[in-house]
Amino acid sequence: MSTPLVSVITVTYNSARYVVESIESVLASSYTNFELIIGDDASTDSTWELIESFEDSRIVRYRNEINLGEYPNRNKAISLAKGSYIIFIDGDDLIYPHGLEFLVRMLHAFPSCAMALMTWFRNDIFFPVILTPKQFYLGEYFGHGFLGTAFSNVLFRASVLKAEGGLSATHKIGDDFIRYKIAAKYPSLLVNDGATWWRETPGQASQVWGNSVMGVIESFQLKFEFLRLETCPLTKEEKDLAAGNLFLSLTKIIIKSTLKGYFKRAYRLHSEFHIPLKYYFLVRRKPLKINPLGGYSPVNPYRLPLSENPFVSK
């Protein structure tokens, strides 16, 4: 395999507690043809001093004079990236020594795919598999989905990420936004997990936001937004069914919030999405499920045909 340059992007903000571990994990990679772009977003602790303590020619570092915010800072780092592939390993994340080598080998072997998405063990899938835009969207709206893992679990083809404008600075969940956007236009590669490790800390900003009423609202707004776009690969009938699933899920959240006494939260969700009354009578119904990969099983898992698998000797 050739060894294309990979841009590892690490964004930091008051990350002094973990940033040394994060940088060391990248520098310990068995895959050595990478640049590590570290963008500090005007930290007020000792993060920058710790970043400066590293002497490695592969490190490109900068410090913003003012705090830009997460996604503008990520986009600044993307603009500096020279690699063919981009991965985000934040200042509290880690990557295993084999991580870059594994992910590059996967995505490099499938040039039609715009990104490699790591996912947990599935006993009905033998990785790697290619997801068409339609399969990706069917999974998101009618199944378990493919976005349930951290942003550090994605290797992007840099040319596509840049062509699609980088990350949205107007969405709090810009990492989901770009994955939806790319997956609607290009095939994605689904690979097994275990190349990176992301940290979950008490009071983590992403968790606090995700559990807040505004976090729930933006998450569902994003799903509705991509469902309505012309680039959505689903048919009109599938879009209508998907919207029904979203309304049903929202209704369940509203009723649960009401029963717990969170009346303002329940009212805000109902008024934000103008949920049709019929879904309150259907609340006991389970959302419609569609397996985007078909009826495969642990005995007969979904897998690439041997003729399409570059890792199989022909």
Contact between 152 and 198 under an 8 Å Cβ cutoff? The reply is yes
Asked if 98 and 236 sit in the same domain, the reply is no
For residue 299, tell me if it sits in a domain: no
Residues 219/223/224/228 CA torsion (nearest 10 deg): 150
Classified as helix, coil or strand, 295 is: coil
Last residue of a domain, one of 158, 177, 197: 197
For residue 287, tell me if it sits in a domain: no
The whole-angstrom separation of Cα 51 and Cα 2 is 30
Asked if 50 and 127 sit in the same domain, the reply is yes
Asked if 239 and 160 sit in the same domain, the reply is no
Number of structural domains (the chain) is: 2
Asked if 144 and 18 sit in the same domain, the reply is yes
For residue 80, tell me if it sits in a domain: yes
pLDDT number for residue 210: 59
pLDDT number for residue 147: 86
pLDDT number for residue 293: 87
Residue 314 has pLDDT above 60, yes or no: no
The whole-angstrom separation of Cα 145 and Cα 143 is 5
φ/ψ of residue 304, rounded to 5: -70, 145
Asked if 191 and 224 sit in the same domain, the reply is no
pLDDT number for residue 313: 67
pLDDT number for residue 193: 94
Asked if 57 and 162 sit in the same domain, the reply is yes
DSSP assignment letter at 151: G
Asked if 74 and 218 sit in the same domain, the reply is no
Location of structure tokens 């929202």: 250
Confidence of residue 297 (pLDDT cuts 50, 70, 90): confident
For residue 121, tell me if it sits in a domain: yes
For residue 157, tell me if it sits in a domain: yes
Asked if 50 and 172 sit in the same domain, the reply is yes
pLDDT number for residue 145: 87
For residue 155, tell me if it sits in a domain: yes
φ/ψ of residue 266, rounded to 5: -65, -45
pLDDT number for residue 195: 96
Asked if 106 and 218 sit in the same domain, the reply is no
pLDDT tens-digit series, residues 112-145: 999 999 998 888 899 999 999 999 999 999 988 8
pLDDT number for residue 206: 61
* Structure tokens, 78: 């993307």
pLDDT number for residue 284: 85
Cβ count near 202 (within 10 Å): 6
- What domain range is 111 assigned to? 6-197
Asked if 60 and 165 sit in the same domain, the reply is yes
Confidence of residue 202 (pLDDT cuts 50, 70, 90): low
CATH of the domain at 89: 3.90.550.10
pLDDT number for residue 205: 59
pLDDT number for residue 204: 58
Mean pLDDT in residue range 43-66: 97
Residues 291/297/302/306 CA torsion (nearest 10 deg): -160
Last residue of a domain, one of 173, 197, 221: 197
Asked if 15 and 111 sit in the same domain, the reply is yes
pLDDT number for residue 212: 85
Last residue of a domain, one of 197, 220, 241: 197
The whole-angstrom separation of Cα 92 and Cα 253 is 31
Confidence of residue 309 (pLDDT cuts 50, 70, 90): confident
pLDDT number for residue 285: 87
Mean pLDDT in residue range 20-47: 97
Cβ count near 254 (within 10 Å): 22
Confidence of residue 71 (pLDDT cuts 50, 70, 90): very high
Q: Which of 99, 183, 85 is nearest to 141 (CA)?
A: 183
Location of structure tokens 């012309």: 230
For residue 58, tell me if it sits in a domain: yes
* Structure tokens, 312: 């199989």
Q: How far is CA 245 from CA 224, 259, 264, 313, in A?
A: 11, 21, 23, 43
Classified as helix, coil or strand, 60 is: strand
Beta strands in 188-295 (DSSP E): 188-192, 196-197
pLDDT number for residue 208: 57
Location of structure tokens 């835009």: 133
Asked if 107 and 42 sit in the same domain, the reply is yes
Average of per-residue pLDDT values in the chain = 93
pLDDT number for residue 296: 85
For residue 149, tell me if it sits in a domain: yes
